[in-house]
Structure 1
């Protein structure tokens, strides 16, 4: 075999190895931020971690949130943080304004209590989620899209 053929085979092998390793690492990426949380929702595996300078919280799809509301609401503290009040999802434990951190922390029994926050569109619950994580809470889930996505999925709100 000529030196040129050996060099070609060597370069081809290196390129193939690089391509395979790149594909393998993207296929095995962890959707939940490596969390080992035992209360983690197990519905569809689409929950994702949101990382920011203060820490990490999880998000839930509307279908994941609905499954929890219907089957496992007692496993979570479910809080509507939207102001002004615009209705709520069944099995909501309480309504607390997103920007009242003192009331939020007072309503949550401990920093490792699993908490799900939602609002009308996702903005206020995102802010509240970040604030709780910065305070040391470890099991916080946010529902992007909130009440709007809930209704868009064909589900109904209740008005208390």
Structure 2
């Protein structure tokens, strides 16, 4: 595997050197689910250009709504030579634990 899934409960085990990259759109970042402290907004469509100058050995945590886009982002970065990638499993939905009975898309 080119990246490692991290459950929300394990976020605290990531050191302060892990850069948090939120690949959602701006309205999602500022929306009801909010975002993780210190997360940087880098929408998925801009990730390739934005990451061009990032160090390939720096640890990155990829974040999205449900874990799908961040997994794609992690795969794309791995193909570009990034070596220390983490995907937030379940995304911000898992972090916030949506109320029982609510439906998500």
Class of the TM-score when normalised by the shorter of the 2 chains: 0.7 to 0.9
Given the alignment, which residue of 24, 40, 53 partners 1:82? 24
Matched, 1:95 2:41: yes
Give the unaligned 5+ runs of structure 2: 29-33, 100-105
Matched, 1:144 2:89: yes
- Within a 5 Å distance, the mapping from 1:30-69 to structure 2 comes to 51=1, 56-65=2-11, 67-68=12-13
Other-structure match for 2:56:
111
Other-structure match for 1:17:
none
CA distance, structure 1, for counterparts of residue 68 and residue 4 of structure 2: 14
Contact 1:118/1:146 (<8 A) preserved: yes
Quickly say closer, same or farther: Cα 1:68–1:95, change in 2 above 3 A.
Answer: farther
Q: When the two structures are aligned, how many residues end up with a matched partner?
A: 93
CA distance, structure 2, for counterparts of residue 115 and residue 142 of structure 1: 9
**TM-score in terms of structure 1 length:** 0.53
Contact 1:117/1:142 (<8 A) preserved: yes
Query: Which structure's CA Rg is the greater one?
Result: 1
Other-structure match for 2:31:
none
Over 4 Å off, 4+ runs: none
Give the unaligned 5+ runs of structure 1: 1-50, 155-160
State the Cα distance separating 1:99 from its structure 2 match: 2.5
Other-structure match for 2:66:
121
CA distance, structure 2, for counterparts of residue 59 and residue 137 of structure 1: 15
**TM-score in terms of structure 2 length:** 0.78
